[in-house]
Amino acid sequence: MNLLGGIAIGVRNSVLAVSLLALSGCTTLTSTGGIAVTQTGDNPAPTVVPEGTDPDDVVIGRREHPRIIAAYGGVYSDRPAEIMVARIVGRLLAAADQPNAQFQVTILDSAEVNAFALPGGYIYVTRGILALASDTSELAAVLAHEISHVTLRHARARTNRTRTTEIVDRVISGVFGGEAGADQAADRSKQSLAAFSQNQELEADREGIKYAGKAGYDPQAAARFLGVMSRFATFSAGQNQGEGFLSSHPSTPDRIQKAVQVATQMFGAAVGEVDREGYLASVAGLTFGDSVSQGSIVGRRFIHSASKYTFAVPQGYTLQNSQNAVVGVAGDGEAVRFDSAEVGANVGLADYLKSGWIAGLKADSVTTQSFNGVDMASGIAQTDQWFFRVSVMRLDGQVYRFIFAAKADSARFAQGAEATLKSFRRTDATDLAQIRKVGIKIVVARAGDSADSLAKQMAGLNRGTELFYIINDLFPGDPIVPGQKYKVVALQ
């Protein structure tokens, strides 16, 4: 959960030298000017964009870029991954006949499997999509698809339908109003940043396959990776996770078959570069799942090491962390949402609670209290279908919010809400010691290994064995090549 900055809702071609000008951050590429990796704080913007770009596109992209970074948890800094992405985009730009084009490619610190483009030459990929791909050609297929959206001016067409500013504003500052579906609405708004029409998606598929094939990558990689994403979409639905790219880029059998046909029509039986070995070397150590900087879930406890607080939810709740909020759901129709808000230091907690951001609040129910040295204010709200217990608290100048929801009030529901509030406190060394960072580890198959035996290395994770097959594009019983490398998710 990203709690910084208020409510967190939520080239050259390969034969030329690569110039890395800074430590980490966003990558700017131009076919004539090299590759520059610039620090996030500089908030750079392309000065040369795809031919035919409307001047307004540059303004739109420059304005929305920092908002996108905030909405997706910040920039993910990983030098090997940045260099790999930069080299791939450099080759693709040359193949796309964009001699004067400059694109800014950003790796977002998000577990979502997502990639999208904005007007003005801005392209985004998440570390989640890097973790899912298995070779360079698959990532090239994704990047070529997004470059195609820009060169075909789809991003501009979409912006004309739904102003980008309005979309991002809703993502960052969604209003609850007692609506239990606010998270889903915010997620849909964020996903719509990447939403194109079906015809535009198929057009970008075709153009992207052409760019990737001309750049020397395996033209069948697009179809292959669409299949992997389809499997991951099913897996994610079982995990109740947002699907990001998978929602806006559905991997239907018909779309996969069309990608196969396009690649065959354009390049015949030619097999381009795959570079599995180089790709796996670049993603080794990549953070997997939620970022520790955005908070960690340990059982029923949420621990935020950066903001130095923790709390626990009642027995029976299952916690899930996202860019929007931390949400806990119980099987008996109860839920809790936790997030943060920007509230002036001179605004009292009780006054803020009564300020109208929660629908149906009963003003006479608002009380103030203090637990573990943290000042709080709590109240009751009710709508036609839901009963809410709402609490706000201030820690180190930041205001946090709990919204407990149930179909009806009860003594048990009230006790659970109070127990959660009483558990909210500053972290200590014991809490921090429970946090475990999980990332991509590369293992080498030995003689006698099978997909099943390698998958057992992830058996300790929730549905880890199933995840192993997906991230390696394998199925139970598939043959394993001794000496070949495979991805596992492990503690780091």
For residue 291, name the pLDDT band (cuts at 50, 70, 90).
confident
pLDDT at 157: 56
The backbone torsions φ and ψ at residue 241, rounded to the nearest 5 degrees and listed phi first, read -105, 155
pLDDT at 1: 55
**pLDDT reading at 212 higher than 90:** yes
For residue 330, name the pLDDT band (cuts at 50, 70, 90).
confident
Contact between residue 325 and residue 337 where contact means Cβ atoms under 8 Å apart:
yes
Q: How does pLDDT run across 353-362, given as a tens digit for each residue? A: 999 998 899 9
Q: How does pLDDT run across 80-124, given as a tens digit for each residue? A: 999 999 999 999 999 998 866 778 889 999 888 888 878 778 889
Structure token pair of residue 26: 């966003």
What is the DSSP code (8-state) at residue 287? B
User: What's the gap between Cα 63 and its chain centre?
Assistant: 20
Measured over the CA atoms of residue 256, residue 262, residue 263 and residue 268, the dihedral's sign is positive
For residue 483, name the pLDDT band (cuts at 50, 70, 90).
very high
Q: Rounded distance, CA 331 to CA 172, Å?
A: 29
Least confident of 57-66, 216-225, 300-309: 57-66
Contact between residue 396 and residue 326 where contact means Cβ atoms under 8 Å apart:
no
pLDDT at 19: 24
pLDDT at 63: 85
**pLDDT reading at 299 higher than 60:** yes
Looking at per-residue confidence, does 425 or 384 come out higher? Answer: 425
Q: Rounded distance, CA 327 to CA 338, Å?
A: 6
pLDDT at 296: 85
pLDDT at 16: 21
What is the DSSP code (8-state) at residue 288? -
Average model confidence (pLDDT) across the chain: 79
Q: List, in order of start, the domains of the chain with CATH numbers.
A: 26-283 (no CATH), 310-430 (3.40.1000.10), 438-491 (3.10.350)
Least confident of 169-183, 283-297, 332-346: 169-183
For residue 67, name the pLDDT band (cuts at 50, 70, 90).
confident
For residue 53, name the pLDDT band (cuts at 50, 70, 90).
low
Q: Rounded distance, CA 15 to CA 368, Å?
A: 66
Of residues 263, 276, 271, 230, the one with CA closest to residue 249: 230
